[in-house]
Amino acid sequence: MNMPSPKNTVKLTEQAIKAIRVTEKPQKFSDERGLYLYVTPTGLKSWRYDYRVNGKRVTLTFGRYPDVTLAIARRKHLEARTALASGTDPAQQKKIQKLERSIALSNTFDDVAKAWFGGKEKRRSAVWRDTHGLYLRRDLSPFIGRLPLADITGETMLAVLEKTRERSGPKTADRVRQTAAQVFDYGKRKLKVSVNIARGLAGWTDGEMPAKQHRAWLKASELGPFLAALDAYPGYLTTKFAALLLLLTFVRKKELIHAKWVEFDIDAEIWTVPPERMKMPTEEKGRRHAGHHVPLSKQVIKILQELQPLCSGSVYLFPSNSSLEKPMSPSTLNMMLKRMNYDGMLTPHGMRATASTILNELGFRGELIERQLSHVERNEVRRAYNHAEFIEDRRAMMQSWADYIDEVRANSAIGVEKT
């Protein structure tokens, strides 16, 4: 093995470096205080710095010439000596920085987002998966997907959000920000980034966001006129049945219009809404949800018995008018309410608020109402230990609610006849 020849004493300048001739042996050209240019027999030139730590010799390389000029080499040499004087080994520091860069390059936004999404998707609803998946795929990944998470600045994130705002409006853009914020939160927990720049942009749409509109619902005094108008509605009987079932069960619209006959156990007087159609995690802390159990009142069972012959053998309670293999359109109930002149006064989702409000006013226990609404317990401790279904208590409540609807409906009909 050929050893480098003794250090040359040529004063290093750019001109002197270019004039160096290659020899059969490696050469060292000294600059100052341990900095030198190392030249191989093949002509490769690199900057090196020899120093000692705890009595051991260490060699630190600064890069190849001419990529690293003489001036840059001297600056790097000064930084290394300064670090050494403060008790830091510059070679060890360089290794750590190289490792950090390597880790950062492997921790791109896409990498972290994939890990975050993959760890949650099995415990989240289809709506959650579709929504966050779209924001990641359409709004975030094309612009910052390949950037290391720690290298994404607030200015970059704001530019991405502004682009989304121009296309989809401020409300959607802020939802995209919230998705990004959850990715950054996950990155912080995994020590991949120290600052959540997406959360730092909270409020960036101030003054642009439309006022939050609650879905319209009916007060107890407004329920009678609505039921009278529903009875008088000249549209499809199946659509009227759908509205009544929403009011009697107060499930979500999607849970109803996609309902299949196989989900109903008439003998047991129970309807099990499968978890994948619900607005809740399908699995939580290792416990898979069996779905939402809806006790069926006698009035609901009667509607189901009248409805089944109208379905022409479809698997759906409410098949589309164009195909028995598809469920009713999501807009059908909204259009019915509009034609009944209830547009802006009531929405399908508002029937849940109507039922909840009136039942609370009637003195029913809040926990029964919340369970019937299939609301997820916000307190994580209670959610982890409270798996109570309250089936029998809810069955009694739902029968009372159906009886109440019948009474209001009958009184409304009498009122119509008197006028």
Report, as residue numbers or ranges, the catalytic residues.
252, 285, 349, 352, 375, 385
Interacting residues of 31 by C-beta distance below 8 A, sequence separation 6+: 12, 37, 70, 73, 74, 77
What is each CA distance from 208 to 175, 197, 276, in whole angstroms?
Answer: 14, 21, 34
Chain centroid to CA 335: 31
